[in-house]
């Protein structure tokens, strides 16, 4: 499996996900914007907005190559000068506060000296945490992980808890999911086996999230619940701009800014010292924004 074949499979994954989200939303359609990167490569940015369910979403494909910036070489302790990176990354911001924000990405990175690795994951950011929904989400992730290695779920779930943690807020971004990086053939799996795992994670996204969308989209919500959603979206922005490595990599490699920052929500609020009432659903959600929760039980 060479890099061009991997990129082609990722493009097909983007197609499948977009079709599933359009069908489930029932109104909005993706608009595609093809772009080229000055340093080499390009991609397809697909945006959906103002739908029945989805207020704003993006499903991005990219395959970029060129000279590796010194900043990244130093950070990753790499010696090679040229790189190739391809992947699919998506974000969905629903209109209804009872439908969680979701993020997923799968990616492949290769250097001119033959070094390669895969990365990716899925995580869920509910505005109001539903323990049953959280359990169902994690059970499905574990089922995929268990097909490949008995330790994958626990390892990658812990990794997600650590990665999607906002230290200056002392809380997690949501209920996590799985996160993995630097998977290559020194982990006891062949390149094709790792790619199969990565694709299974990518293909899990649409049926998993569309079920969550359908379940919650008709729930009524108040102005107060909408305000809470906008407040919580602020945390999402804080993480993506201050901590997310994918955002940093895209900006450091002179990627397309519009595509990199498409993950930002369409509307957000930062309320100074937001008042959370004792015993409220908002307080109960905040109490569950922590690392190490065994959602499966």
Q: How far apart are CA 295 and CA 297, in angstroms?
A: 6
DSSP-H helix ranges across the chain: 3-25, 70-76, 131-146, 152-163, 191-216, 223-242, 245-252, 257-260, 281-287
* Distance between CA atoms of residues 286 and 279, nearest Å: 11
Does residue 285 contact residue 128 with C-beta atoms inside 8 Å?
Answer: yes
Number of helices (H) and strands (E) in the chain: give both, helices first. Answer: 9, 9
Catalytic residue among 98, 103, 149, 182: 103
Q: Give the CB-side neighbour count of residue 74, counting CA atoms within 13 A.
A: 4
Helix (H) or strand (E) holding 292: none
**CA 207 to CA 197: how far, in whole Å?**
17
> Is 103 annotated as catalytic?
yes
Q: Is 101 within 8 Å of 92 (Cβ atoms)?
A: yes
Helix-strand-coil split of the chain, %, nearest 5: 45, 25, 30
In angstroms, the Cα distances linking 193 to 141, 149, 160, 167, 201 are: 17, 11, 22, 35, 13
79: buried, middle or exposed (CB in 10 Å: 19+, 13-18, 0-12)?
Answer: exposed
Contact call for residues 85 and 68 (beta carbons, < 8 A):
no
Tokens of 62: 């990219």
Task: Note whether 206 and 20 are within 8 A (CB).
Answer: yes
Which residues are catalytically annotated? 103
């Amino acid at each position: 499996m060479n890099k061009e074949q991997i990129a082609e499979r990722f493009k097909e994954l983007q197609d499948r996900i977009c079709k599933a989200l359009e069908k489930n939303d029932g109104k909005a359609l993706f608009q595609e914007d093809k772009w080229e990167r000055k340093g080499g490569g390009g991609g397809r940015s697909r945006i959906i907005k103002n739908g029945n369910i989805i207020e704003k979403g993006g499903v991005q494909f990219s395959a970029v190559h060129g000279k590796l910036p010194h900043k990244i070489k130093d950070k990753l302790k790499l010696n090679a000068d040229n790189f190739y990176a391809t992947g699919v990354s998506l974000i969905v911001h629903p209109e209804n506060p009872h439908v969680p924000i979701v993020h997923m990405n799968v990616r492949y990175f290769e250097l001119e000296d033959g070094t390669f690795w895969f990365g990716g994951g899925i995580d869920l950011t509910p505005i109001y945490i539903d323990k049953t929904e959280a359990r169902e989400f994690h059970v499905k992730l574990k089922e995929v992980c268990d097909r490949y290695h008995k330790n994958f779920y626990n390892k990658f779930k812990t990794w997600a808890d650590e990665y999607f943690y906002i230290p200056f807020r002392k809380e997690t971004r949501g209920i996590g999911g799985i996160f993995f990086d630097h998977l290559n053939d020194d982990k006891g799996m062949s390149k094709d086996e790792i790619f199969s795992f990565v694709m299974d994670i990518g293909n899990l996204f649409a049926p998993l999230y569309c079920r969550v969308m359908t379940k919650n989209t008709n729930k009524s919500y108040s102005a107060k619940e909408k305000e809470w959603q906008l407040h919580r979206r602020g945390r999402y922005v804080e993480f993506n701009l201050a901590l997310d490595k994918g955002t940093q990599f895209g900006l450091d490699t002179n990627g397309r800014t519009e595509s990199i920052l498409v993950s930002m929500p369409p509307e957000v609020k930062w309320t100074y010292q937001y008042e959370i009432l004792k015993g409220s659903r908002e307080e109960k959600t905040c109490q569950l924004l922590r690392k190490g929760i065994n959602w499966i039980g």
